[in-house]
Amino acid sequence: MYSNELFQKVKEMQLPVGKYALFGSAPLAIRGIRECRDIDMIVSKDVWEEYKHKGWEMAVAPHGSEYLLRDEIEMWKDWYPGEWDVSDLIAKAEIIDGLPCVILDTVIEWKKLKGRDQDIRDIELIEEFLKK
So what's the pLDDT on residue 95? 98
How far the first Cα of the chain sits from its last, in Å, is 28
Backbone Cα Rg of the chain: 14
Average pLDDT over residues 92-118: 97
* CA-based nearest residue to 61, from 40, 89, 46: 40
Residue 86 to residues 35, 42, 43, 102, 112: CA-CA distances in angstroms? Answer: 24, 7, 7, 10, 18
* pLDDT of 24 above 70: yes
Q: Which of 40-44, 69-73, 81-85, 90-94 has the lowest mean pLDDT?
A: 81-85
- The domain spans of the chain are 3-123
So what's the pLDDT on residue 92? 98
So what's the pLDDT on residue 40? 97
- HSE-up of 108 (CA within 13 Å, CB side)? 11
- HSE-up of 82 (CA within 13 Å, CB side)? 15
So what's the pLDDT on residue 82? 84
Neighbours of 65 (CB within 10 A): 13
So what's the pLDDT on residue 2? 73
pLDDT band at 1 (very low <50, low <70, confident <90, very high): low
Give pTM, 2 decimals.
Answer: 0.94
- 3-123: CATH topology is Beta Polymerase; domain 2 (3.30.460)
pLDDT, the chain, mean: 95
